[in-house]
Amino acid sequence: MNMLTNLPSSDIMRELVFNLKEPLIIHGGASDWKVVNWDLKDWSNTVGNSKLPFRVGKRKCSTSPQWERVCRTEELTIKEFVNYIDREYLKDEWMYFDYKHMNQWFKGNQTILQSVSWKPFGFPEINGEDSTMWFGSEGAHTPCHFDSYSLNIVIQIYGKKMWIMFPPDSTDKMKPTRVPYEESSVYSKINFCCGNSDFTGLNEAYFVVLNPGDVLIVPNQWWHYVENLSTAISINTWIPLESDDEKRLEECLVRNFILSSINNLSITEQERILNPNEEELLMDNSGADGTTQLNLCISRCKEKSLSTKKNSYTKDYITDLKDYKSIEIVNKLQMNDVKQFLCKKCKCNVNRENINKLKIPSDNIIDDYINAFCHPDIIVKVKEMLLLNK
């Protein structure tokens, strides 16, 4: 595969990625990827008759995010998906083949897997086998959240996709919640799909619309809301960080607390609190697996604290990139401008009477209990005390 020549060397890009403090966009940075030039027919022909699970949600405003639990799943080929989204009644729904590991769903399909290379961005050791796909119709989205581990590099393959991002120090303003619980994902209670949601305390956001070939680099633990503005495909990979061991310990603490909290609840309540991909937690009644994982995480953190040398980078890589016009920090917008964009997109009436068309389960005391004990700031303190006493 021919790589672009208007990027810094792979080594410089690697240093840049690891030292990035704000989201970075590389316009057209992957425009030479073979799959960037494919249309939906090419995807259909290459994937063939394999059935893919598409999550189906409602294109209606609500006061809270549309969690995965309230969505249904449709098994479709890409050809069937294309035919489906062309139907008039889908204007009220969206479909998303999201967060799917390519080595699982396209195993043996070297045409797809070999078209992905992260070498130009500093990571020659990562390819399609280590990448994830997001393929959906207009309106497809994931509720706003941040990823506990790693940093995220995203390539827009097809269509347009909107990213709204906030720095880690925005956490309290984002109304964090661990219900629904998904390992390594801290969700926001704010529904960014609707422009009339309550954005109190948020003054500005990093905002970008990705086009085919664009590359977005999102630093660790940045909040992000992502939505397709058209039928769109993107591919991403998560880059491991030295801090991941401590973050895994924090997630292990959350997991154990969640498990103990739901142990005596009804199956219906347990399923409401867990994201569908976490239902295997219901099989662990003994807590033995959680204790084993906790001890392992503690051991790894102790080993890392003794062996890891702290990085002391002083070079200003952003300044060094001033000659690369395709590379820039993502622009910030005032939240009023973001709200106007969202209202225009969702066509939501300014009158909030129309926002409750889609009923989403609301919080209750068990949610408040979990969120109080599992608040990111509290979990960090628990982790610090645990490591101090070990």
pLDDT at 167 over 70: yes
Which amino acid is located at 343 in the chain? C
CA 204 to chain centre: 20
Residues 6+ away with beta carbon under 8 Å from 307: none
pLDDT at 312: 44
CA-CA distance, 66 to 276, in Å (whole number)?
Answer: 14
Rg (C-alpha) for the chain, rounded Å, is: 21
- Using one digit for the tens of pLDDT, what is the confidence trace for 113-144? 999 999 999 999 999 999 999 999 999 999 99
How much of the chain is helix, strand and coil, in % rounded to 5?
Answer: 40, 25, 35
CA-CA distance, 72 to 276, in Å (whole number)?
Answer: 11
CA-CA distance, 95 to 313, in Å (whole number)?
Answer: 43
Q: Residue ranges per domain, the chain?
A: 10-239, 244-310+364-389
C-alpha dist (Å) from residue 338 to 109, 120, 345: 40, 32, 11
pLDDT at 388: 86
CA-CA distance, 97 to 27, in Å (whole number)?
Answer: 25
C-alpha dist (Å) from residue 199 to 4, 67, 259, 355: 40, 19, 31, 15
Determine contact, residues 221/125, Cβ cutoff 8 Å: no
pLDDT at 291 over 80: yes
- Using one digit for the tens of pLDDT, what is the confidence trace for 293-311? 889 999 989 887 765 555 4
pLDDT at 342: 94
3-state secondary structure 46-61: HHCCCCEEEEEEECCC
DSSP one-letter string for 157-226: EES-EEEEEE-GGGGGGG-EEEEEEETTEEEESS-TTSTTS--TT--EEEEEEE-TT-EEEE-TT-EEEE
Percent of the chain with pLDDT strictly greater than 70: 88
- How buried is 282 (Cβ within 10 angstroms: 0-12 exposed, 13-18 middle, 19+ buried)? middle
- Using one digit for the tens of pLDDT, what is the confidence trace for 24-41? 999 999 999 999 999 999
pLDDT-derived band of residue 346, with 50, 70 and 90 as boundaries? confident
Q: What is the mean pLDDT of the chain?
A: 89
Angle at 294 between CA 290 and CA 295, to 5 degrees: 120
CA-CA distance, 232 to 239, in Å (whole number)?
Answer: 23
Residues 6+ away with beta carbon under 8 Å from 289: none
- Using one digit for the tens of pLDDT, what is the confidence trace for 261-272? 998 899 999 999
Domain 10-239 grouped into CATH 2.60.120.650: yes
Indicate the SS3 state at residue 121.
helix
Question: Please, which residues bridge with residue 333 across strands?
Answer: 205
Dihedral sign from CA coordinates of 358, 361, 362, 367:
negative
Single pTM value for the model: 0.92
CA-CA distance, 56 to 95, in Å (whole number)?
Answer: 5
- Using one digit for the tens of pLDDT, what is the confidence trace for 307-318? 555 544 445 666
